[in-house]
A and B are shown apart, each in its own frame.
Chain A
Amino acid sequence: MTPPTFKARRPATYTGIPGWIYAVAAAGALLVVLPLVGMVARVNWARFIPLVTSESSLAALGLSLRTSAASTVLCIVLGVPLALVLARGSFRGQRVLRSLVLLPLVLPPVVGGIALLYTFGRQGLLGRTLEVAGIQIAFSTTAVVLAQTFVALPFLVVSLEGALRTAGPKYEAVAATLGASPSTVLRRVTLPLVLPGLASGAVLSFARSLGEFGATLTFAGSLQGVTRTLPLEIYLQRETDAEAAVALSLVLVAVAVAVVALAYRGSGMVGREITTTTAPARGGDVR
């Protein structure tokens, strides 16, 4: 007979974790898991397929995936250089820039939406100039992507900057003395070295974009097929058809789980890179 599996396994090495910590940790895990269970319990499985394949649902899901993909690409394009100058550069105002870039992490998304509106909106800082050029951003799909990028960019920057600091500049210095130009070093050494950090940052950005609600609603509105992403559709359905909202929520959870599982598959590297973001910077010169 096999021993009961629920019995706490004695770890091979001393962990130093007090027993009661496990109880509190279990409470923390329950706080996350229990609501998901509660939601799944309310799913009307008989109507599930029709609910999630309705025209509005599919439009919202498609829009969410497209815009999130676009904002993730935008996060990579803009976030990699930002992380590089923050981690490796040396200039005045570097600390201020870091704080500002990370601001959307702690800012209520609605505030972000208002800020975007008064920048790119018709009456905004750049809005008039853009309108003269024939570009109108607010309440368009572009606005959705911009709002998502605004809130998701810090996730990529934090993740990648941490990976860059952990890797240190030693490999880059050696590559330079071997005759590689800075662009070659970036392409052949730096980016491959921090690829796990970049991947985890991209996954986090995508997940954050997928769940974006407040900034999108404020800056882009809720127009079916144009700006009404899945979270907006869920919020709207909740007013009229709670079962549809629950079914769509489950889809969103499934998509999020799939994305995270895909990125974390194989190695534990991605997860570890995230934890290193707070690691102190290591020495600068080559020894």
Chain B
Amino acid sequence: MVEAAVAARGFDVSLTVGPGETVAVMGPNGAGKSTLLNVIAGLLQPDSGRSGLDGKTLFDLTEGRNQWTAPHRRGTALLAQEPLLFPHLSVLENVAFGPRSGGAARRAAAGSALHWLAEVEAADLRSRRPAELSGGQAQRVAVARALAAEPGLLLLDEPMAALDIHAAPLLRRLLRRVLAGRRAIIITHDALDALMLADRVIILEDGKISEEGPTRDVLQRPRSRFAAGLAGLNFVAGQITGHGLRAGALNLYGQHDDLPGPLPTGQPGVAVFPPSAVSIFLSEAHGSPRNSFAVTITDLEPHGDGIRVRAGEGGLLTADITTAAAADLGLAPGMQVYFVVKAGAVAIYPA
């Protein structure tokens, strides 16, 4: 449980993590994700708020109170983007650092270190120096070191970000195994990490939580532009009408099959649709239940086997089409075209 505000960074967040639950924190750069972890770990003191872990007060800076637990008494091990293994200690000594600091005898600490090294499949690296490890090996050892401290809450700050594309899948698989049933908060930029590792996802924007929920729900029914971007969906926010959604001059028809009852007309709502469901026409197309709206192309970029066409204000609307189709239409930035989406492909729900 943490409630904290840091005025200087415009940060105000309240969050609870259940026992055995892993929460993914996602959001744009500078949204306050690292601030959140640093506040929980005790490396940054918030202006106000309180936080507790397993009945222990981490900090309580509410009106009239000034309780503060030092980082080393919190039991919140931090795994950063860089492994930050102590360069002057061997791998085994690095992993034994937590148990040793917790007061374990040398032999017991070494035993525990070996156990956790085996757990991350790095036992054969035990006598190496950190400088002799690859990036992936070092991060695996760093995971073992964090786990060996037996933290009540494990904090992971983009642990995969600094790894090359070959080392990341191995670590992700490893984390999936060790995070199961463990209380953890993981910061990530990758929807795959959230899906594989987390039970719940929190979207942090401008220092505030803009959206939270079970990972699948957030990715299937995003209520924020950021979450929609993660899920690879087009996102339009507006007002629910009798027929669909109105956003400025844009009227979208869509479906809301899986929601009970009619949509609350007049309330704020969102419409999402995948870029692959959008076709592009040079002239307005009418016909069976379709949405057709004029947009100006801002960018064309390669995307998988085809081309992603960005259009509209800020290039926020996207369409994925084949390279052949793009060539046939002679698409170029600055052109006005019509984006056409079947109503059946647009999901509309309250924001």
Contacts and interface: CB of A to CB of B under 8 A. Distances in A.
Contacts of B75: 179
Nearest to B145: A178
B101 A181 contact: yes
Interface stretch (B58-66, B76-84, B260-268, B294-302): B76-84
Nearest to B76: A177
A182 B77 CA distance: 15
Interface string B66-94: 00001111111110111010111000000
Nearest to A195: B88
User: Interface SS of chain A: helix, strand, loop or mixed?
Assistant: helix
A171 B76 CA distance: 15
A174 B145 CA distance: 10
- Measured as residues with beta carbon below 8 angstroms from the partner, the interface class of chain A is 20 to 34
Contact of A178 (B43, B87, B98): B98
B157 A179 contact: no
Interface in A153-202: 170-171, 173-182, 184-185, 188-189, 192-193, 195
Contact of B80 (A174, A176, A181): A174
Nearest to A192: B88
B149 A285 contact: no
Given A177-B78, A178-B101, A193-B87, A287 B72 contact: no
Interface in B119-142: none
Nearest to A174: B84
A262 interface: no
Contacts, number: 85
B44 A287 contact: no
A171 B85 CA distance: 8
B86 A171 contact: yes
Nearest to B97: A178
A286 interface: yes
A177 B34 contact: no
Contacts of B81: 287
Contacts of B146: 178
A193 B88 CA distance: 7
B42 interface: yes
A177 B41 contact: yes
A173 B98 CA distance: 13
B155 interface: yes
A188 B44 CA distance: 23
A131 to B, nearest CB: 44
B40 to A, nearest CB: 10
B102 to A, nearest CB: 5
Contact of B43 (A176, A189, A195): A176
Given A173-B71, A174-B80, A285-B38, A179 B98 contact: yes
Closest 7 CB pairs of A and B: A180-B101, A176-B71, A177-B78, A178-B98, A179-B101, A192-B88, A178-B149
25 contacts: A170-B80, A171-B84, A173-B43, A173-B78, A177-B71, A177-B151, A178-B77, A178-B97, A178-B98, A179-B73, A179-B102, A180-B97, A180-B101, A181-B101, A188-B97, A192-B86, A193-B86, A285-B43, A285-B44, A286-B34, A286-B41, A286-B84, A286-B157, A287-B81, A287-B82
Given A173-B78, A177-B71, A178-B146, 4 more contacts: A171-B84, A179-B73, A287-B34, A287-B81
